[in-house]
Each structure stands twice: as structure tokens, then as C-alpha cells.
């Protein structure tokens, strides 16, 4: 689940949408597909399955928002500046929440769940499965997608191609996507080029272009192509999930949710101010990242520990507790840690002579 860049001109409505998206993922995990205990997936509220099973689309929704946010975050920054901004934004919080989840599993998980020091150590690299260890929380798979996206953006910034050649980048990216998905379906290509999610990121990147004032048939054509790719990838994801989860997904419903999500995100970027207290909106957006990291594995540790006769009130209590804990993490851990890590790495970059901002050209270009 992708974090948002903080900025003086942040899009307030996107903060609320991120919260809605993470609640969709929470619904999916508690109503359709949770972590496995002794090889059997846990489902706290199975009667919610007909609705909850579509909550998987919350993650692609995050990817659309991420495309928008990353385009903003990259503006005016060098590759080093962009990398530092992204690392300081996601990594300290990830390590804290992953460690918190590990402690919860070790102390409260048995006999349903267990964790080891080797697993914790592998998870420090986010892509734990690359080291032969499971994710501390299987929700972390999406962070690997995010980090790969950040890496590509950093490479393109360093090469002077982003955002100047954004259309070319997206066209080649989508071309690789369809070449792989419709022919070889090679796992290496899928992981390297994010061919299961490229359409969502591309839509977010192009919505940012519109947000910045770009118009014209080329942009609109690119948006149509990217949205079509996103719908195709949503349907493809549903097909892959069906045998894995034993669920059945209506193709029209998946496509409709995907299109509605894109439309709502686009409209959210046109809303300049949300009629809610700014601090509330900021907190709603801020707690979504730790809530995504904490809600499933940690939540199910508490759920299976209690083994309640009536699941609904206990799940509600767990989600509220996880939301409160996520706010604490955002307020007292994430924000100060982000500032400290960013300032530390920025200082090291300056000492090595690596500029963090692009020079301002005559005429105000960045």
C-alpha cells in the first residue's frame, strides 16, 4: 500500500481516498482471505465474502494514487533527492511496524502463528521471499511492487527522461506489459517491469500531468490506453486469484470498480479543499500506511488468541485498535523518524557532492 508525499499543496481528497482504499483491503482480509494458520487461511467474517472479495482492488487503487504522488514527489528533484525522499518516507515506518508485528507473533501468536529471527532479518530487506523467508505479513508483497516502481523512476530521473519523456516511457512500458501478458507470461519480466500493475501506475502519472495543466488529444489518448490496461490487469488479477482463493469474481463488477476508482481518484485531484478540519484529513491520510502494515497479521494474532464466539464485535474492536495504534505510529514514530532519516541522508548526500534539487532554469522551469 503506497504512502503519500507530504507537501504544502497536498491533495486533501486523496488522503481520504487512501483511507477508503485501505479499509477495502481490511474488509478483504477479514471477510474473505486472511493469513494461513497451519496451512489453512483464516477468515474472521466469512459471511462478508460476496462483498469483501472485491476488496483486493484497493491495492491497485493505491497504485493509481502512488503514480500521482510519485510524479509530484519527483518534480524538481534529482535521482538522489527522490530516492532519499522515498526511502525516508516508507522504510523507517516499515521497519517499526514489521518489528511490532514480529513481537506480537512471537509473544501472542502460538500455536496459530510463529516467527523467527531469520524471518525478521530477511524482512528488513522488504523482499523477504528473495532470501527464502516468508513475509512477516503477506500484505508486504505490494511494497516490493512500490519499491520497484520507485527504482525505475529514479533511474529515469538520473537519465534525464522523467518526466520529460513520460509518454514514451508509458508507451514502452505498456507495450512490454501486453507483449508479456499475451505471450510468454514470464515471471521475471512480470517482476522486473511490473506488468501486472503498470496500467494503474501509468494512470496516476497521467492524472498528474492533467493536474499540472496539460491538455490535448495525446494526453487523452494515453489516458484511455492506460485505463484500458488497468481494467485488463484487474480482470487478469481476478482470474489469478480465483483458483488461489477458491473465490469467483464477476468480471463486470471488477471492471466497474476499477473504472469507478480511477474516476473518483481523478475527481479527487480536482477538489482543492475538503470541508473537514485539515488536521483530521491529514491524520486520516497519515495513518493509512501503518494501518496497512499492521492490520492483517497483527489483527489475526489478536483474533485467534481470543477465539471469540461472536466475531463481529471482536473484529470491530481489533480494527479500531489497529487504527488507533496506526495513528500513534504515524504521529509519534513515522513523522519524526522520517525527518531524521531524510535530514541525515541529505547531509551525507551533500557531503558527497550529490545535489538533491535540479537547478532552476531561466523562466522558472525546474
Per-residue pLDDT at 366: 33
pLDDT in tens, 99-140: 999 999 999 999 999 999 999 999 999 999 999 999 999 999
Report the alpha-carbon angle 319-100-14, nearest 5: 50
Q: Which three cell numbers stand for residue 211?
A: 493536474
Residues facing 113 on adjacent strands: none
Going by the DSSP 8-state scheme, the letter that residue 275 receives in this structure is S
Dihedral of CA 188/193/195/201: which sign?
positive
Going by the DSSP 8-state scheme, the letter that residue 226 receives in this structure is H
* Cα–Cα dist 325/344, whole Å: 27
pLDDT in tens, 305-355: 887 778 999 999 999 999 999 999 999 999 999 999 999 999 999 999 999
Dihedral of CA 135/140/145/146: which sign?
negative
* Cα–Cα dist 26/237, whole Å: 18
Q: Which three cell numbers stand for residue 50?
A: 460476496
Helix (H) or strand (E) holding 175: helix 166-179
In tens digits, the chain (366 residues) has pLDDT values of 444 433 435 789 999 999 999 999 999 999 999 998 888 889 999 999 999 999 999 999 999 999 999 999 999 999 999 999 999 999 999 999 999 999 999 999 999 999 999 999 999 999 999 999 999 999 999 999 999 999 999 999 999 999 999 999 999 999 999 999 888 888 899 999 999 999 999 999 999 999 999 999 999 999 999 999 999 999 999 999 999 888 899 999 999 999 999 999 999 999 988 999 999 999 999 999 999 999 999 999 999 988 777 899 999 999 999 999 999 999 999 999 999 999 999 999 999 999 989 876 544 433
Angle between helices 141-158 and 79-108 (to 10 degrees): 170
What HEC string does 100-150 produce?
Answer: HHHHHHHHHCCCCCCCCHHHHHHHCCCCHHHHCCCCCCHHHHHHHHHHHHH
Q: What is the dihedral of CA 244, 247, 250, 255, to 10 degrees?
A: -50
* Cα–Cα dist 70/82, whole Å: 9
Cα distances (Å, whole numbers) of residue 111 to 33, 103, 133, 235, 347: 20, 15, 19, 37, 46
Dihedral of CA 58/59/63/65: which sign?
positive
First to last CA, the chain: 29
* Cα–Cα dist 149/201, whole Å: 8
Contact 44, 300 (CB under 8 A): yes
Tell me how long the chain is. 366
Contact 25, 59 (CB under 8 A): yes
Contact 70, 153 (CB under 8 A): yes
Amino acid at each position: 500500500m503506497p504512502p503519500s508525499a507530504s507537501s504544502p499543496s497536498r491533495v486533501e481528497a486523496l488522503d481520504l481516498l487512501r483511507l477508503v482504499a485501505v479499509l477495502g483491503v481490511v474488509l478483504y482480509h477479514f471477510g474473505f482471505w486472511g493469513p494461513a494458520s497451519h496451512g489453512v487461511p483464516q477468515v474472521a467474517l466469512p459471511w462478508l465474502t460476496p462483498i469483501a472479495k472485491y476488496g483486493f482492488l484497493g491495492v491497485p487503487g493505491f497504485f493509481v494514487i502512488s503514480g500521482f504522488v510519485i510524479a509530484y514527489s519527483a518534480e524538481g528533484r534529482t535521482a538522489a533527492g527522490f530516492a532519499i525522499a522515498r526511502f525516508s518516507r516508507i522504510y523507517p515506518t516499515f521497519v517499526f511496524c514489521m518489528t511490532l508485528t514480529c513481537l506480537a507473533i512471537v509473544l501472542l501468536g502460538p500455536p496459530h502463528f510463529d516467527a523467527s529471527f531469520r524471518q525478521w532479518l530477511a524482512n528488513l530487506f522488504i523482499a523477504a521471499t528473495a532470501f527464502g523467508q516468508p513475509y512477516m505479513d503477506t500484505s508486504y508483497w505490494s511494497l516490493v511492487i512500490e519499491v520497484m516502481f520507485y527504482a525505475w523512476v529514479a533511474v529515469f530521473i538520473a537519465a534525464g527522461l522523467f518526466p520529460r519523456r513520460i509518454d514514451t516511457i508509458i508507451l514502452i512500458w505498456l507495450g512490454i506489459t501486453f507483449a508479456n501478458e499475451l505471450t510468454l507470461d514470464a515471471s521475471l519480466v512480470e517482476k522486473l517491469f511490473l506488468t501486472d500493475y503498470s496500467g494503474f501506475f501509468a494512470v496516476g502519472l497521467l492524472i498528474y500531468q492533467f493536474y499540472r495543466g496539460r491538455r490535448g488529444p495525446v494526453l487523452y489518448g494515453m489516458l484511455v490506453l492506460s485505463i484500458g490496461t488497468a481494467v485488463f490487469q484487474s480482470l487478469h488479477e481476478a482470474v489469478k486469484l480465483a483458483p488461489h482463493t477458491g473465490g469467483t469474481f464477476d468480471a463486470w463488477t471488477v471492471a466497474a470498480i476499477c473504472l469507478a476508482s480511477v474516476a473518483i481518484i481523478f475527481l479527487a485531484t480536482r477538489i482543492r479543499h475538503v470541508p473537514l478540519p485539515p488536521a483530521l484529513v491529514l491524520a486520516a491520510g497519515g495513518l493509512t500506511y501503518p494501518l496497512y502494515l499492521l492490520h492483517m497479521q497483527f489483527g489475526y494474532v489478536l483474533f485467534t488468541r481470543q477465539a471469540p464466539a461472536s466475531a463481529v464485535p471482536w473484529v470491530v474492536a481489533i480494527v479500531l485498535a489497529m487504527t488507533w495504534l496506526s495513528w500513534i505510529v504515524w504521529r509519534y514514530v513515522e513523522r519524526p523518524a522520517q525527518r531524521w532519516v531524510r535530514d541525515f541522508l541529505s547531509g551525507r548526500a551533500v557531503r558527497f557532492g550529490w545535489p538533491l534539487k535540479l537547478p532552476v532554469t531561466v523562466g522558472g522551469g525546474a
